Amino acid sequence: MAPDAPAPLRPRVALLGQFGIGNLGNEASLDAMLDVLGDADLVVLTEEPGAVLEARGLPAVAFTDPGARRGGWRGVLGKVRDLRWAWRRVGEVDAIVVPGTGLLEGSAVRATAVPLTLGWYALAARCRRRPLHLLSVGVDDGGHRLTRALFGFVLRAATTVTVRDDGSAACAERLGRSRPPVVPDLVLAGQVQGSARSHGPWTVALGVIDTHGTGTIEADWDRARYLAAVAELVRRLVVAGARVRVVGGAVLDDLIADEVVARAGHDAVVRAPAADLAELDTWFAGCQVVVAARYHNLVTAVRAGVPPVSLGYARKQDWLLGDVGAPARAHDVAGFDPALVADQVLHLLSDGEAWQAAHADATAWVDQARRLLAGQASRLRVSLGLVPDDVPLEVRP
């Protein structure tokens, strides 16, 4: 009897991103990639490896040298040590995957932080001939000149680039990469119970956001003005007979969410805490409209077919609302008009035909997004040798 053939070695794949930091959208993006690559030999590269290991039991390694000095002139040597660190980490794996998120959005990010780290990994991947796949990522070109240069290098060095919207594709092109394919956000691949218009009391989910680590609004954010505007929006909704569920999208949003509920001081306004997007799905399921500030709160609403209104802090929210046919419902979180937003929400609540049209637009778009994501997942698995096929990923020199 012939001996059994040895089992093929599983490819070792690094998943690179800002995981373990309490951002629900980033964690959901990682979950989506684990669904695709769960049978590979995985390691997570992140700034919080201990949190990832504790929460998920996944092998995790810091994506920068934990022993390097930070700050001052010695910080320069620390950045050089980060290159050596990246070189070693890349040499330990067969491929690096960046699973979605906004790592290439640098409007308010120091060039020497995440952009430089990405640059080191792209350089190491190219020199060591390891594939680097950037999949359904968000891209912007509004940061510092050095940040733009680093992002441009990363995009050109990557083996594969797909972006989550046309706006990101245009930015990638301006940064020096030929226009990449659009494959919408990884989180959209998840299946949820479709929202049905409830005949009970009007219920609105209100996503709030705190001011720290919020991209382009950091420089001129007026927290007091934002809280006053949100309080006025809540007041108008409650006066009209709506119930409001206040949600966050990251751990740092908890305080401001509690403040909004306390300011309202009304039984119709309640806190709706969520540890992940699955819990957000549960809260959104009983709502007819979602007013979202965090990007992945908006994605979660669209995925569930709940008509969204955006109080966005970056162009990505505008781009997503444009994709689902509702550009007029995209507002600037730092300067929105609560009366206008309330009018839009109440119109959707009171006009069944308008609500059904918004629901149908979101549902049709998500169906197409899922088809694109399924194709991307299949091509990635082929590329990594997890399944035999002759359909390779797009490869760039």
pLDDT digit string, tens, across residues 211-264:
654 444 444 568 889 999 999 999 999 999 999 999 998 888 999 999 999 999
Selection from 117, 128, 186, 182 nearest residue 153 by Cα: 117
> What's residue 9's pLDDT?
74
Domains of the chain with bracketed CATH: 12-183 (3.40.50.2000), 203-365 (3.40.50.2000)
Read off the pTM: 0.90
Q: What's the average model confidence in pLDDT over 155-183?
A: 97
- 308 pLDDT above the threshold of 80: yes
> What's residue 396's pLDDT?
45
> What's residue 251's pLDDT?
85
Q: What's the average model confidence in pLDDT over 283-308?
A: 93
- 196 pLDDT above the threshold of 60: no
Q: What is the rounded distance in angstroms from the CA atom of residue 309 to the CA atom of residue 311? A: 7
pLDDT tens string 309-351: 999 988 999 999 999 999 999 999 988 999 999 999 999 999 9
Residue type, 156: R
Q: What's the average model confidence in pLDDT over 186-215?
A: 76
Selection from 367, 394, 377, 379 nearest residue 34 by Cα: 377
How many residues are present in the chain? 397
pLDDT tens string 238-251: 999 999 999 998 88
Pair of tokens at residue 47: 């700034």
Q: What is the rounded distance in angstroms from the CA atom of residue 119 to the CA atom of residue 149? A: 9
C-alpha 170: how far from chain center: 18
Q: What's the average model confidence in pLDDT over 388-394?
A: 57
